């Protein structure tokens, strides 16, 4: 018997020198792998050693991200693991997945058919009888000490197939849907969201359960995961026979979204920014006068006196109670922007500083952002800070009737992204910083649930793995108004869905650079609006040009406002087409409700690549500029200026369906073929499996 191996409870343990490796069943067909060179095995971000299993709630209320990161505690009933130790190594099997360790401790993972899914990239002389024996001395699991601190940790995995495709990983501003060959920063920035769950075409899903700043390279010869500062290696892997099975297993492990409230499924009106109570009410009344359905209207940033006051400025918002009540009478929900920044002039700054509720800096003067004043972010990783913020928000917004919040700056955004400069309650930014948006979402989720609200939905500009269970609707940040940016957002939205974040949206029309009088921008806005109709949330927003001057020099009034951004603000053609798609969105509400129910109950992405529903069609895996809006509609956005027709692929049909139906003409097509579809300015190509006609 190899003395390096042991069984402790349900875990397979391997020890060599200072390293200790744990492998255990963690959900159906899934394993969690952890390794460390500490005195014990750190559990989660805090480095504590607390162990134990408990029942979990998939809505996230039973989870503690300080302990298990993105993962929920496992349910023992799902654990079918069995462990075997022999002379040449050891193995652990849990349903459809098996991990094998050779006698040198090198790890390989197989599916139920015995096919190799993952294998550590090892080139050393630890075992001279192994095929990995090499003078290169490269380890699959590398712990590089940080002098006086923890470790830079690297995991190297063999690239087993040149044809492997990788999806997920969150939101990056690039047009690549298949991430094989990509080099991705594991860090949060404005318009970038690192959500480190990857789905492979080889039949596995992989979660890098580490919130450290780092990098992943999905290379041709190997995949390399790096955490710049960490106490331990921690990842979770699942095997499945279809993308849906893998995605649903991940949703069970990391949590699912709540059921989306009805108002989230309609049309949202927003701009940078309504400056007064009367201006906002006038827009809401105009939608009602024109009999155009409006579900949500938004008060953007700097409606407050100072950042960190978390209240309306009474000079410009004199009666928010009456305003909110009036909107509700019109059937409109109000969403209010909240920032995590605290201006040094804020009425709350001194108390928060004294109480240790603010993010710290490692050197120099403590400033996180210098936009409209020098400010420091609240420390969302600290429970006392989360409670403090929620109490202020509850008193000044929630108790007045606000039920949906815009949690902006969620990365958090810094004026300078020096990740080694900031320190949180749970540790340095380099070590735990990617989890900030998760704790930001948790701040409001916990408070709203405690107040009795079941269907929690809040808009955030960033996410980490597990954010979905805290009601996070993520949007793609301050992006450019261009067709190139539109193409990037399509890839970002699909990969966010595959990374386990089913609630996702964009600023329709883009954020920066849209001139309201420019016909070229009108075309972009129309094409984006059409696509937005078939996104999880349909939200119009942007910083339109030319800007309006500030209304004053103090408080929120000192901030500029963009040009008007209502659907009637552009041209008669823009207005006519946008109005058409708002009514189409209303027509689709029963269908969208079904999609949101599937996201809530199973973790199904609302928008997904063609291969998700047609995994047996090899051609569906090659398509990157179309997607499925749930199981019934195939959508082919118009992604280039001046385009009036486009080529698209209709997957091979299954489940008894005979034809794809063009929703505009009723014409039917057999699957498994490419066609050219008409795309006049007023029309986005959409095909239905159910024969539906618009």
Catalytic residues: 408, 411, 478
Phi then psi for residue 235, to 5 deg, are -145, 165
Q: Which segments within 339-466 are labelled E, that is strand?
A: 341-343, 360-361, 375-377, 404-407, 422-424, 427-428, 458-460
In sequence order, the β-bridge partners of residue 675 are 648
In terms of Cα–Cα distance, which of 421, 437, 33 is closest to 211?
Answer: 437
Count, in order, helices (H) and strands (E) of the chain: 13, 41
Strands 633-635 and 686-688: antiparallel
Strands 214-218 and 222-230: antiparallel
Question: What does the alpha-carbon distance between residue 299 and residue 338 come to, in Å, rounded to a whole number?
Answer: 10
Cα separations (Å) of 508 from 270, 431, 675?
A: 10, 34, 28
Question: What does the alpha-carbon distance between residue 378 and residue 338 come to, in Å, rounded to a whole number?
Answer: 12
Spatial neighbors of 504 by CB under 8 A, at least 6 apart, are 171, 473, 474, 475, 476, 493, 496, 497, 535, 536, 537, 606, 607
Cα separations (Å) of 54 from 57, 229, 319?
A: 10, 29, 47
Burial readout 143-182 (b: 16 or more C-beta within 10 A, e: otherwise): beeeeeebbbbbbbbbebeeeebbbbbbbbbebebbbbee
* Residue 116 exposed, middle or buried by CB count within 10 Å (0-12, 13-18, 19+): middle
Classify 499 in phi/psi space as left (phi over 0), alpha (psi -120 to 50) or beta.
alpha
């Amino acid at each position: 018997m190899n003395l390096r191996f042991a069984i402790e409870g349900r875990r397979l343990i391997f020890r060599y020198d200072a390293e200790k490796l744990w492998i255990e069943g963690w959900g159906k067909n899934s394993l969690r792998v952890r390794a460390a060179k500490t005195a014990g095995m750190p559990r989660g971000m805090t480095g504590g050693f607390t162990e134990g299993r408990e029942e979990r709630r998939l809505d996230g209320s039973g989870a503690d991200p300080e302990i298990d990161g993105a993962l929920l505690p496992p349910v023992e009933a799902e654990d079918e693991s069995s462990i075997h130790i022999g002379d040449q190594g050891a193995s652990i099997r849990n349903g459809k997945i098996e991990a094998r360790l050779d006698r040198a401790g090198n790890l390989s993972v197989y599916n139920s058919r015995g096919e190799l899914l993952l294998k550590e990239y090892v080139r050393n002389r630890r075992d001279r009888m192994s095929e990995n024996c090499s003078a290169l001395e490269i380890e699959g699991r590398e712990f590089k000490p940080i002098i006086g601190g923890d470790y830079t940790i690297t995991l190297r995995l063999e690239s087993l197939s040149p044809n492997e495709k990788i999806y997920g990983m969150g939101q990056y501003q690039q047009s690549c849907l298949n991430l094989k060959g990509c080099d991705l920063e594991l860090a949060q920035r404005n318009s970038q969201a690192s959500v480190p769950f990857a789905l492979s075409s080889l039949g596995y899903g992989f979660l890098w359960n580490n919130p450290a700043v780092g990098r992943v390279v999905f290379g041709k010869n190997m995949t390399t995961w790096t955490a710049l500062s960490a106490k331990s290696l921690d990842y979770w892997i699942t095997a499945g026979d279809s993308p849906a099975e893998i995605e649903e297993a991940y949703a069970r492990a990391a949590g699912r979204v709540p059921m989306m409230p009805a108002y989230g499924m309609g049309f949202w009106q927003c701009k940078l920014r309504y400056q007064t109570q009367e201006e906002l009410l006038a827009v809401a009344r105009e939608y009602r006068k024109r009999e155009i359905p409006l579900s949500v209207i938004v008060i953007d940033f700097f409606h407050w006196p100072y950042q960190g006051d978390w209240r309306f400025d009474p000079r410009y918002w004199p009666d928010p109670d009456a305003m909110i009540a009036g909107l509700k009478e019109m059937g409109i929900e109000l969403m209010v922007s909240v920032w995590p920044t605290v201006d040094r002039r804020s009425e709350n700054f001194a108390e928060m500083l004294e109480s240790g509720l603010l993010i710290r800096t490692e050197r120099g003067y403590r400033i996180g952002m210098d936009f409209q004043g020098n400010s420091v972010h609240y420390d969302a990783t600290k429970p006392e800070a989360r409670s403090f913020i929620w109490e202020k928000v509850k008193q000044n917004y929630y108790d007045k009737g606000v039920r949906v919040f815009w949690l902006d700056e969620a990365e958090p955004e810094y004026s300078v992204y020096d990740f080694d400069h900031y320190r949180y309650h749970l540790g340095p930014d380099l070590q735990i910083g990617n989890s900030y948006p998760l704790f930001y979402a948790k701040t409001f989720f916990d408070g709203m649930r405690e107040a009795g609200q079941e269907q929690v939905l809040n808009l955030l500009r960033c996410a980490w793995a597990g954010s979905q269970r805290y009601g996070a609707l993520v949007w793609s940040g301050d992006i450019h108004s261009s067709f190139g940016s539109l193409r990037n957002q399509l890839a970002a939205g699909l990969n966010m869905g595959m990374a386990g974040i089913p609630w996702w949206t964009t600023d329709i029309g883009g954020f920066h650079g849209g001139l309201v009088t420019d016909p070229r921008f009108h075309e972009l806005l129309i094409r984006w609006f059409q696509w937005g109709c078939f996104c999880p949330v349909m939200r119009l927003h942007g910083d339109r040009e030319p800007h309006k001057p500030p209304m004053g020099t103090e408080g929120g009034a000192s901030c500029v406002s963009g040009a008007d951004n209502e659907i009637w603000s552009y041209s008669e053609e823009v207005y006519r087409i946008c109005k058409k798609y708002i009514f189409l969105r209303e027509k689709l509400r029963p269908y969208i409700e079904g999609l949101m129910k599937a996201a809530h109950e199973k973790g199904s992405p609302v928008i997904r690549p063609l291969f998700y529903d047609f995994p047996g069609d090899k051609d569906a895996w090659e398509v990157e500029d179309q997607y499925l809006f749930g199981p019934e509609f195939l959508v082919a956005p118009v992604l280039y200026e001046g385009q009036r027709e486009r080529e698209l692929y209709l997957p091979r049909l299954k489940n008894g369906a005979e034809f794809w139906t063009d929703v505009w003409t009723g014409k039917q097509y057999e699957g498994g073929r490419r066609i050219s579809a008409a795309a006049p300015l007023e029309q986005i190509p959409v095909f239905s499996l159910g024969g539906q006609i618009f």
